Structure 1
Amino acid sequence: MSAGEQSSSRAFVLCVGVSAAQREAIAHALGDDVGLVVARDAASAQAALRAAAGEAPPNIRPVPSPLPEDLILDRGPLYIDLGRREARWEGVPLSMPALSLDLLAALAENPGKAWTFAALTQQVWNRPFLGDTEAVVSAVKRLRRQLAEQAPGLQIDSVRGIGFRLEGLDTPDVELPRQRTERLGFARPVTS
């Protein structure tokens, strides 16, 4: 590479099993020119390297793509309209931020299904899972509090070693894009 050329790739440092304080010190020492990737253990580090190289982990199904923006989920007492960015429990609007709504929609897409951290990361944050479960765990904690206050019949169960699942819905699954539901006359009107 000549002196006038610049590399299009960015260097990064992979740290495994470092504390938050160590991570801060390393990031400060590296400055802005070098990326920092942190993994909690060797398996997470390998997953991060595979993701950076664009490879799928071995023996793992591809994670689903994000939910369509016009998706309507009608699960009996739970109704979610992603196009309108609203959710209702037994007809009463649920007040929650966008991230919580997206997480609830992902979990409600297939109630009772155990969702992996990787699948939730892909669907809710629209990025690959690099081994850090903190964002998912944090979002689930917030959503659990919101559901306890507003939709006590719903609960999010932890599935050890896998992720989470939504419980409290034992109705047949119905999911239709907005255009089809409106054409068939099933779209629910927005009421204040």
Structure 2
Amino acid sequence: MANERNSENELSIDDTPLLIETNGWEFDSGLYIKETVPLISHTYKLEPEQFITDYIVAYGFKGLLFSKKLLKVMKDLKVNNVQCFPVELVNGDTEQIDEYSLINVIGQYCIVDHERSEVTSDDDGDIQFIDSLTFIDTSKVELPPIFRLSSFLPLVIVNNQIKQAFEDNNITGLKFYKPEEFSL
């Protein structure tokens, strides 16, 4: 599951909410957040040609930003390795408030087959660039339905059940790739 827009007209939020910045929270490390996180309120500007999706690319939130509809699909699937924190997005022009959840995916796994992948890594083994990605055989590995790739934390891996449920429910704003088709 890629953190990228399908269309240039989808709303994306680049700035970091003050509450997240002040507290230094990171919801994209695959680690459990122990602190109590209050409601995060953030005002955004929607350009005339832009529209809001179920999943909003929001790099500054340092996690995944899911609509109520998307969160319901996850709950219906009984995905239990995520933390959900309330977010209200306030349209700066209309003052309309949309309720979203900031999702912290808990779990990071090393499943990259480095010999069969075409990746550039730094000295610590973290992936910097991806031309082609191949995973090890995970048929005998117990993995959660959604997790982060430990050598490249921005990448969220989901199983086919989640992907199919998102597609069946017409969830907007997400892009899915087969590992071998993903490049960065």
The interval holding the TM-score normalised by the smaller chain is under 0.3
Higher relative contact order (CA 8 A, sep 6+): 2
Kindly indicate which of the two structures has a greater share of residues assigned to helix: 1
What is the TM-score with the length of structure 2 in the denominator? 0.27
Structure with bigger gyration radius:
1
What is the TM-score with the length of structure 1 in the denominator? 0.27
